[in-house]
């Protein structure tokens, strides 16, 4: 199903304090565990979907800072985990 050490991406919806919805793209690394233990998903990167380019600069900067490792948005996405139904393997070619 998923390749050990494979990198996958999926979209996440995130809402700010004013209930504005933003689409984020998250990249996850899959780590296969022992048969009797759960597998691991490690969050690698979170970024604002480029389709949201029309946003004001101050909002984009606020979201980008929250998407950095251990930022508030990063933590929300990490807590939610990957959407296993929509994950796609990242193609580096």
Q: With a cut of 90, say whether residue 5 has pLDDT above it.
A: yes
pLDDT at residue 6 in the model: 94
pLDDT tens sequence across 23-71: 999 999 999 998 899 999 999 999 999 877 788 889 889 999 999 999 9
And the tokens for 67? 């998407």
Which has more confidence, 1 or 90? 90
Q: With a cut of 80, say whether residue 92 has pLDDT above it.
A: no
Question: What gap in Å lies between CA 70 and CA 76, rounded to an integer?
Answer: 9
Question: What gap in Å lies between CA 79 and CA 88, rounded to an integer?
Answer: 19
Pairing of strands 40-48, 7-15: unpaired
| Segments making up each domain of the chain, as ranges | 7-89
């Amino acid at each position: 199903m998923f390749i050990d050490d494979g990198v996958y991406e999926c979209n996440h919806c995130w809402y700010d304090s004013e209930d504005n919805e933003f689409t984020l793209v998250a990249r996850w690394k899959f780590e296969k565990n022992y048969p009797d233990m759960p597998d691991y998903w490690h969050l690698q990167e979170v970024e604002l979907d480029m389709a949201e380019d029309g946003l004001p600069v101050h909002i984009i900067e606020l979201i980008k800072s929250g998407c950095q490792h251990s930022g508030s948005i990063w933590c929300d996405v990490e807590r939610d985990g990957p959407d296993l139904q929509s994950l796609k393997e990242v193609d580096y070619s």
